[in-house]
Amino acid sequence: MRGVLHKKGGLAWKKRFFVLEETQGSERIVYYLKEGDEKVRGELELNAESRISDLPNKKNGFQTITNKKALVVYAESEEVRTEWKSAIAAVISRLNGATEQKEPREGHHIFQVSGTEFEMETKDVYMVTDLMETDLHKVIYSRQPLSNDHSQYFLYQMLCALKYLHSTSVLHRDLKPSNILLNANCDLKLCDFGLSRGLNGDGGGSAENNLTEYVVTRWYRAPEIMLSCQEYSKAIDVWSLGCIFGEMLLRKPLFPGNDYIHQLKLITQFIGTPSAPDLWFVSNDKARRFMLGLPSSPPVDPLSHFPGADPGACDLLSQMLVLDPSSRITVDEALAHEYLAPIRDLSFETKAEKEIDWGEIEEVELTKENLQKIIWEDVSVYHPDAREEAKQRGD
């Protein structure tokens, strides 16, 4: 990131040329008298504790603070200010993530919403989570610019979270923009695991596990779910993520179907009409005949459909939105895609130490009391002091 900003110097504002350097181990903001100069006039190092805030009395003004040292500037437009703030926030977020514990507890990843503090009072359990100011749905439909850097960084965080979640043998099953939480530093967390379910040992779900088509908001629903397949896999979450990614690029829903038939038609108009071999996974004869009876339609050209989008983004998206779930790109393959190479950080791409033992949970009747007990037992494992305090209170 580079460009002109106006820097506060004494009582005056002076135009300077700024560069955001993102070399690992040397993350800083430097500025020069003008573009092309080699002499650095000043700099501000960035670290995990750096913070950004707006200047209430200066239009398009903001300040970045590190170790009580502040760099106070204003941009010539709101759009430029937003771009700079987002770019700086992304660097701080990466630095902040690098300081997180690298061995998260079972079922937890830094890009998934989780409890940070717990309190037990009589028969109630209180869980305090990180504050996330907004969600991706609100960002997509706001007037705030959504650059390629934003889309790239948001997608990377979502894929990291999904990698960890799937390693615990869990499908999210309800990925959509409103379930992607964000804060001012562009940190992202998945939330709302109310429809999540465990996988079978082979990595797939089945009707016996109550994995039905009544999951995932229709616009983000994988085709294999709508085609009444009895078994499906982690690929359903990849499809949903692809729909979200496309919505970020387009800034409107990719497949806004009115019903499941309309939904399937919109999908085939985008990815092309399938052939009989493409539908090998569809066991329902009626669904298979419906798909083969659709009017012939070639796939769209992503570069034309998403004007101005990065070609790498279009290539990755086209691999996420593949009808055949066995040919759809996996989470690991997506993380290794060249589009994400500039921001990839392997320390974020963690797996759980072990899968969740669903046998201990699926057999439990999920009453309020049982849920409280399960949560409290889990809290006690990672916060033994809480159990001791509860004993002392006689709870």
Tens-place pLDDT, residues 63-79:
998 886 889 899 999 88
Sequence-separated (6 or more) residues with CB below 8 Å from residue 96:
48, 185, 187
- Mean pLDDT, residues 195-217: 56
Residue 181 vs residue 125, higher pLDDT: 181
* Distance from C-alpha of 63 to C-alpha of 381, rounded to nearest angstrom: 42
- Is pLDDT of 283 > 70? yes
The per-residue pLDDT for 338 is 97
Q: Provide DSSP, 211-262.
A: --SS-S-GGG--HHHHTT-SEEETHHHHHHHHHHHHHHHHSS-S---SSHHH
What confidence category does residue 212 fall into, taking pLDDT thresholds of 50, 70 and 90? Answer: very low
Residue with tokens 């949970």: 361
Tokens for 184?
Answer: 């001012």
- Is pLDDT of 89 > 80? yes
- Is pLDDT of 334 > 70? yes
- Is pLDDT of 231 > 80? no
SS3 call for 55:
coil
SS3 call for 240:
helix
What confidence category does residue 209 fall into, taking pLDDT thresholds of 50, 70 and 90? Answer: very low
The per-residue pLDDT for 352 is 85
Percent of the chain, pLDDT > 90?
A: 51
- Is pLDDT of 265 > 90? yes
Task: Domain 2-98: give its CATH architecture.
Answer: Roll (2.30)
Residue 305 vs residue 12, higher pLDDT: 305
- Measure the N-to-C terminal CA separation of the chain; round to a whole number of Å: 55
Apex CA 390: angle with CA 384 and CA 395, to 5°? 145
State yes or no: is 174 an active-site residue.
yes
Contact between 287 and 206 (Cβ < 8 Å): no
The per-residue pLDDT for 75 is 95
The per-residue pLDDT for 219 is 95
- Mean pLDDT, residues 24-36: 87
Task: Among 9-18, 35-44, 359-368, name the most confident range.
Answer: 35-44
Residue with tokens 């955001």: 20
What confidence category does residue 361 fall into, taking pLDDT thresholds of 50, 70 and 90? Answer: low
Percent of the chain, pLDDT > 70?
A: 80
- 47-56, 257-266, 368-377 — which is least confidently predicted? 368-377
Give the model confidence (pLDDT) of 370-380 as tens digits. Answer: 777 777 777 76
- Is pLDDT of 143 > 80? yes
SS3 call for 200:
coil
Give the model confidence (pLDDT) of 148-158 as tens digits. Answer: 999 999 999 99
Active-site residue, selected from the candidate residues 174, 237, 315, 345: 174
Comparing C-alpha atoms, which of 142, 143, 132, 138 is closest to residue 183? 132
- Is pLDDT of 114 > 80? no
Residue with tokens 């506060």: 8
E-assigned strands of the chain? 2-9, 12-23, 26-32, 42-45, 51-54, 61-66, 69-74, 115-121, 124-129, 134-135, 170-171, 180-182, 188-190, 197-198, 204-206, 231-233
Paired with 4 in beta bridges are: 17
Residue 224 vs residue 200, higher pLDDT: 224
For the chain, give every domain's residue range. Answer: 2-98, 131-348
- Is pLDDT of 20 > 70? yes
The per-residue pLDDT for 119 is 55
What confidence category does residue 46 fall into, taking pLDDT thresholds of 50, 70 and 90? Answer: very high
- Mean pLDDT, residues 337-357: 88
The domain defined by 131-348 folds into: Transferase(Phosphotransferase); domain 1 (1.10.510)
Comparing C-alpha atoms, which of 167, 145, 191 is closest to residue 308? 145
For the CA atoms of 101, 107, 111, 116, what is the dihedral angle to 10 degrees? -70
* Distance from C-alpha of 295 to C-alpha of 112, rounded to nearest angstrom: 41
Q: Provide DSSP, 252-269.
A: S-S---SSHHHHHHHHHH
